[in-house]
Structure 1
C-alpha cells in the first residue's frame, strides 16, 4: 500500500465520526422511514445511534493504535500523523459526551412514546439548544483541520513522488481497496488543480473529495454488514457433505446420445420459456448427489451460453438440509444463500459489477444507515424476497439457480414455490430444482420438464456395490464348490434389483452385509441374508435397528440424544460429549491435544458410528468450497449427523422412540451434563486459528451450560466455573489479548470480569465473599460498565447469540445487596463501613 494510506485511514475515521455527529444534531436531518411509511420506534433509533458511535470510536482507536504503536517502535511519525492523533483526542472529548447523552436518553425512548422526528429532538430532552449549537461549531472546526491535514499529507507525497518520477494512475479493479483508489484519484486532482493546504478555497474543493471518500467508506461498511447478514457459517455445508458420486454414476445425465436424459441439456439451451426443470424421485435415490454433480459442471456451460447469448450469466445454488440447523432448512436461509453467492460473483467475479448494487437492492436499509446508523439488523423474509425479485429484474443479466431439496424446508415449501414459479416466468431466469414426489410439487410443476432420477440409477448403484465389495477383504474370498462366479454375481444383482433405484437402500444393505460377513460364511449364507432384507427403505432401517443388541442400542440412543440436544455438532465436541464420565473435563489439563490424541479420539468415534450404530449416524466433512484443500485436517469442518433424512424421520417417529425408551435408559441421560463437560474440554484444548484465538464462543458455551445446570439443580456450579476460570487464565497467560475475540470496549484481565459482565450473580457473590481482591473487583466493575455499552448498543445478538440462559442472566437485574458488596470490597479502608449482608446460594 502507498505510504499515505495510514493517514487516509485515520482521517476517514475522524471525518466519518464528525459527519455522523453533525447529521444527527442537524434540525433538518429527519429519521428515515421505511418504504411502507412506517417510522422505526424510538428505542431502535437510539440503539442504532449509540451502536454506530461505538463502531466509529473503535475505528478511530484502531487507527490510533497503529500510529502510537509505530511511535513506540521508534518509527518516526510524520507531521500530519502527529496532528491527526492530536485531532483524534480532541474529537473524542467532543463526541464521547454526545454518545453518552444518547445512552442516557434510551430509557426515555420507550416503544409506546410518540416517535421523535429527528435525533436532535431526542437529545433536547437531556441537552440544551446552546450545547448542540456549540458542539456543531467545534465539529466544523475539527473537520476543516482534518481536511487541511490530509491535503498537506497528500500534497507532500505528490511532491516526493514527482521528484522520484513516480506517476499515479487510476485503478478500477473492485478488489482494490477504495482507500487506495480514492487516494490515487485525489492525488491526481491535487496535481491537476495545484491545490495547496494553505489556500482556503483549495481546502474547500478538496473537502468535497473527502466527502466522497466518506461516502465510499460508508458504502463499503454497509456492504460488509449486508454480506455478514446474508452469509452464515454452514451455508455450503450440505453441498460439501454430499458424497462425490462414484466415477461414471451420473454420466448418463449429460450424455446427448440418450434422448430422455439429454432433455436436461436441451432445456439448458432452450429459449422457449419453459424455464423450470424438476429433478424428482424416491427418497434416497441420489437426487442431491446428482444435483452436486451438475452444480457448476463445466459440461453445462456450452448449453447455457446458447441460452444467455452475449449477456453475462450467473449460476448460483443452494442445497437445503432438513437435518441441519435452522438456516439450512428455511426460506430465509435459502434466499440468504442465493443473494450472497450471486452478489459475490457479480462484484468479485469476472463481471466486476459496481458494489453499489448492494445499496440499490437494500435501498431502505441504506437510507436508514445514512440517517441514524440503522438498517443493519437481520433480514426478514419479505425483505429478502423483495431484494431477490429486484436482483433478477435486471434483464441485462441471465441467472441459473439450482436448488436441491425443496421438500427439506421446515416451514413447508409454499412460499418458495411462489418465489420460484414467479421467477421462472422471466426470460432471463432458469430454475433447476429437486424434491420428492409430493403432491404439492406434482401439482406445482405439472407441465414442466422433469426427470425421475431413480429410473436411471441402476448402473451407478451396480458400480457402487461392486466397488464396496471389492474393498472388503472377506467378501467373495469365501470358497464355493464348483463356483464360476455366477452365484456371487447373482447376489450383487439381487442387491441392485432390490434397491429399486435407491442409492440409500443399496448403501445401507451393502454396509450391513459387509459388517456381518465372516470367513466361515459361504455364498448360500450370504445370499440368504440378502434375501432376508426388506425392500422398502423404512423397513430396512427398522430391520437394522432391530438387529442392534442392547449395548449397541444403548450407545446409539445415547448419541442420538446428544445430537438432538445440541443440533448439528462438530465432531470433536461430540467425542467429548460422548464420554460417560461427565466430570472428566474438570481434571483435564489446559493444553492443546496432540495429533495422536485427536486421531485416537476420532477413530473411536468412527468405529462407534460404524459398528455400534450401524452407520445410522455418520461423519460429514463440510470444508470451504473456494479454498484449496491442504493435507492438514481442519477438525472444525467435520460434523456428525444422521446418515440421511429418512433415518432421522424414522428414528424420530413415536413408535421407534417408544421402543428405544423401553429397551434403554433413554430418559435417564442428562444431556446438559454431557455438553457442559464437552464445552469445558473444548475450552481447555483450544488452539489458535489463523493467528486468532476463538475463545469467546467456547467460554460462553461453558457459561450457558453452567446456568442450565444451575437452573435445574438450584445450585451454583462453582467447581465447574472455577475450572472455566482456570482455563481462561491459562489462555491469557500464553496468548496476546489482541488475538482473542472478546467484545471491544475494555481489556479483560480475569474470569471475574466476564462473570460481572454477564451477571453471574451467585458465582460473583461466592467469589467476592470467599476471596475479595480490591483491584480485581474494581476492574471487573469498570470492565462490565464499559463493555455493556457496546453490547447494549445492538451487539447482544452477536456476542450472546441464541444462548437463552446467558441472555436471561445478562438482562436480569443484579441484587442491590450484591452491588453494595462489590462497592464495599473496592474501598481501601473499610473500618467505619459495615459489610453488606448477601445470602450466599448453595454450590457444588
Structure 2
C-alpha cells in the first residue's frame, strides 16, 4: 500500500508539471497578445515550452500506464480523471502548435496569442484557460491530499515503529514484573517457611537481652562483696622456703583430704609457720581433691593487726562468698534471691550501673549465712568446696560463735581446713580426732634444719668453721626453737649479722645462748635492751599502731619519726 501511494505521488508530480507549463504557455501568449510591440522576451521560450509540454504528456501517459494496478481508492480515481483531462488538453495544444508551425515562420513566432487566435476561436481559448485553471486547482488539492497521504503514510510508519518499540519495551517490562513477582513470591514463601526461625531468632534476642541484664545484676552483686584489704594478710605471708613443707602430703592431712570428714585442724605455736603452711596448701596442686567432682578452692586469713571487718565473721563470709560466686556466677540468683530482685528492680528503674552495688555493701551476717544455707539446698551443683580459714585465734569476736559458723558451713558438700594456736576452745571443737589434726611444731624440725643450713652455710665465714662446730651451732638452733619458725628466723638473722662482722665461734655461741628461747621473752629482751631515749619513741610507735584503724605503711612511721 505504501508503494502504491508513492507511485501515485509521482504521477501527481508529473501532472503538476504539465499543468504548470501549459498554464505558463497561455500566460506568455496572453502577454504577447497584449504587448504593444507584439513581441516579448517570453516569446522566445515558446518553442522550448512546446517541446517540454510534449515531454510531460509522454511522462503522464507513461506514468499512467505503469500505474494501471493502482487500488481504486478515492484519490486514485481523481488522479485518473485528471490524467485524462491533461491528456486531452495536451492533444489539443499540440495540435494547435503543429498547425502554427506549418504556417509562415515569421507570423508563427511573432505572436503566439495572435496565431493561436487564428487557429482557435476566442471561446476555445478561454475555455482552455478555464480548463487548465480548473486542472491546476484540482491538482493543487490533489497534491495537498497526496502530501497528506504521504505524511499519514510516514506517520503510520513511525507509529508502527513506535508500536513495535513499545511492544518490545512492554514485553521487557512484563519480564521484569514477572521476575519481581517471582522474587516476591519466593520471598513470601521464604517468610512462610522461615516463620518458625524468625520466632526462634526473636526469642534468642530476648534471651540475650535477659542474659545481659543478668550479667549486669551479677556484676553489681559480686562487686558488693569484696572489701578493702580483704586479701592483705594473704599477700603478706612469706612463701615457704624452698624444699620445705613437702612432708604435709605424707601425713594425716593427705588421708583427710580424700575422706568424707569435713574439718581438719592445723594447730601450732605462735610463729610456728601455720599461715605459711596454709598458704602452701592453698596454692599447691597436690592439695586438690583427687575425685571426679569439680573443685572450688577458697580461703580467708584473719589478722589481728587488720581492720575490724578483716577480723569479723562478716569479713570471713563475704570473702568466701565472693570467691565462690566469682568462680560460679550462675549460682548468684539462686543463693541471693532477695538481693538479686532488689538490684533488678533498681536496674529497671534506671539506676546507673555504677550505683547498683551500693545497697548491698552493708551485708549482714544473717544475709550471708542465709546465702550459704541456700547454697546447701542446691542439689544440681556437682562441685566440691575446699575452704581454708587461717588465724582463728586472731578473730576479734566470740570464738564459740565463730566455731558455730564454721560447723554450720559443713552442711554444704565441703571440706574445711582451719588453723589456729592450740587454745583449749579450738582443741575442744576440732581436736578430738587425732587423724583430723596435726601439731605443726612437732613436724617442722626437718624444715628448720634445711632453712638454717641454707642460710648459714652459704656465708663464707661460716664455711671456715670446722664441720663439727658448724653442725653444733645448727643443731642447737633447731633444738632450742621448740618448733617456732619465727624464732629460728630471728636467730639466724642475728648470727648472719655476726658472721658479717667476723665474729669468732665463741661470739657466735654467745649470741645464740643469750637469745631468749621464747618469743615473748625475745621481744621483752629486745625492748629492754633499748636505751632509755628510744623507749619513749618506741612507745609512741606502739600506741599509734594499736589505735590505727588499719595497718600503717613504713612511710607513715617515718613521718611520725620526723615529726617527733
- TM-score category of the 2 structures, normalised to the smaller one: 0.5 to 0.7
Unpaired stretches in structure 1, ≥5 consecutive residues: 1-188, 197-201, 256-260, 348-354, 582-668, 670-844
Query: What residue in structure 2 maps to residue 382 of structure 1?
Result: 366
1:577 to 555, 559, 563: 559
Q: Residue deviations 1:117-151, cap 9 Å, x none?
A: xxxxxxxxxxxxxxxxxxxxxxxxxxxxxxxxxxx
Determine the C-alpha separation between the residues in 1 that align with 2:529 and 2:376. 52
Residue from 473, 484, 487 that aligns with 2:466 = 484
2-structure distance, mates of 1:557, 1:518: 31
Paired with 1:432 and 1:346, the residues of 2 have a C-alpha distance of: 21
Q: Does 1:494 align with 2:476?
A: yes
- 2:258 paired residue among 266, 269, 274: 269
Moved more, 360-369 or 285-294: 360-369
Superposed CA deviations along residues 688-722 of structure 1, whole A, max 9, x for unmatched, are xxxxxxxxxxxxxxxxxxxxxxxxxxxxxxxxxxx
Q: What residue number does 1:414 align with? A: 400
Shift of 1:225: 2.1
Give the Cα separation in 1 of the matches to 2:278 and 2:438: 12
Correspondence 1:400 to 2:389: no
Matched-pair contact (CA < 8 Å) for 1:361–1:387: yes
Contact 2:234 2:279 in 1 (8 A): yes
Residues 423 and 324 from structure 1, CA distance in 2 versus in 1: closer, same or farther, beyond 3 angstroms?
same
Q: Is the 8 A contact 1:562 1:577 kept in 2?
A: no
> Does 2:433 align with 1:444?
no
Equivalence for 2:443? 456
Contact 2:268–2:420 (CA under 8 A) maintained in structure 1:
yes
TM-score (norm 1): 0.39
Structure 1 residue 222 and structure 2 residue 209: aligned? no
Tell me the distance in 2 between the aligned counterparts of 1:314 and 1:265.
Answer: 18
- Pick closer, same or farther for the CA change 1:207–1:550 going to 2, 3 Å: farther
Aligned pair count?
360
Q: CA separation in 1, counterparts of 2:194 and 2:540?
A: 74
SS of aligned partner of 1:580: helix
The Cα of 1:288 is off from its aligned counterpart by 0.9
1:530-559 per-residue CA deviation (whole Å, 9 max, x = no partner) reads 122222211111112222234554554454
CA deviation vs aligned residue, 1:406-447 (integer Å, no higher than 9, x gap): 111111322231122233355x21111111111111111143
Change (3 A) 1:525 1:206: closer
Q: Following the alignment from structure 1 to structure 2, what is the Cα–Cα distance between the partners of residues 550 and 518?
A: 28
User: Could you tell me how far 1:227 is from its partner in structure 2?
Assistant: 1.4
Alignment of 1:246-325 (within 5 A): 246-255=241-250, 261=251, 263-271=252-260, 274-301=261-288, 304-306=289-291, 310-325=292-307
Alpha-carbon shift at residue 579 of structure 1 (Å): 5.5
Q: Identify the residue that residue 754 of structure 1 maps to in structure 2.
A: none
Rounded to whole Å, the distance in 2 between the matches of 1:275 and 1:254 is 18
2-side partners of 1:544 and 1:495: how far apart? 19
CA shift, 1:490, in A, is: 1.2
CA contact (8 A) 2:275 2:391 kept: yes
Local SS of the residue matching 2:360: coil
Match of 2:410 in 1: 424
Higher relative contact order (Cα pairs below 8 Å, separated by 6+ residues):
2
8 Å Cα contact 1:316-1:341 kept in structure 2: yes
What residue number does 2:240 align with?
Answer: 245
SS of the aligned residue for 2:462 comes to coil
Deviation by residue 1:491-522 (Cα, 9 ceiling, x = unmatched): 22111111111101111222234345664632
**1:537 maps onto 2:524 in alignment:** no
Query: What RMSD, in angstroms, separates the aligned Cα atoms of the two structures?
Result: 3.2
The aligned counterpart of 2:528 is: 546
Cα distance change on mapping 1:288 and 1:520 into 2, 3 Å: closer
Q: 1:31-74: CA deviations, max 9, x gaps?
A: xxxxxxxxxxxxxxxxxxxxxxxxxxxxxxxxxxxxxxxxxxxx
Q: Equivalences for 1:705-716 in 2 at 5 Å?
A: none
Distance 1:554 1:468 in 2: 35
Quote the Cα distance in structure 2 between the aligned partners of 1:245 and 1:552.
34
Is the 1:331–1:415 Cα contact (8 Å) retained in structure 2? Answer: no
The answer for the alignment partner of 2:341 in structure 1 is 367
Residue 65 of structure 2 is matched in structure 1 by: none
Q: Superposed, which structure 2 residues align to 1:563-712 within 5 Å? A: 563-569=545-551, 571=553, 573-574=555-556, 577-578=559-560, 580-581=562-563
How far residue 312 of structure 1 moved from its aligned partner, in angstroms, is 2.0
- Give the structure-2-normalised TM-score: 0.58
Q: CA deviation at 1:393?
A: 3.4
1:327 partner SS: coil
Aligned-pair CA distance for 1:210: 7.2
Is 1:508 aligned to 2:493, yes or no? no
Report the CA distance between 1:566 and its aligned residue: 3.9
Partner of 2:317: 335
Cα pair distance change 1:419/1:566, threshold 3 Å: closer
Is the contact made by 2:494 and 2:511 (CA closer than 8 Å) also made in structure 1?
Answer: no
Residue 304 of structure 2 contacts residue 395 of structure 2 at CA under 8 Å; is this kept in 1? yes
2:308 corresponds to which of 323, 326, 330: 326
Cα distance in 2, alignment partners of residues 574 and 467 from structure 1: 35
Counterparts of 1:549 and 1:532, CA distance in 2: 18
Q: Is the 8 A contact 1:407 1:435 kept in 2?
A: yes
- The separation in 2 between residues aligned to 1:556 and 1:229, in whole angstroms, is 39
Contact 1:402/1:431, CA 8 A, preserved across alignment = yes
What is the DSSP-based 3-state SS (H/G/I as helix, E as strand, rest coil) of the residue aligned with 1:246? coil
Answer yes or no: is 1:236 the counterpart of 2:225.
Answer: no
- Give 1:358's aligned residue: 332
Structure 2 alignment gaps of length 5 or more: 1-190, 348-355
| Cα pair 1:454 1:501 within 8 Å, conserved | yes
Contact 1:277–1:432 (8 Å) recurs in 2: yes
Counterpart-to-counterpart distance in 2, 1:250 and 1:472 = 24
Q: Is the 8 A contact 2:459 2:499 kept in 1?
A: no
Shift, 1:193, TM fit: 4.5
Q: Deviations over 1:320-348 (max 9, x none)?
A: 2111222322111111111111111224x
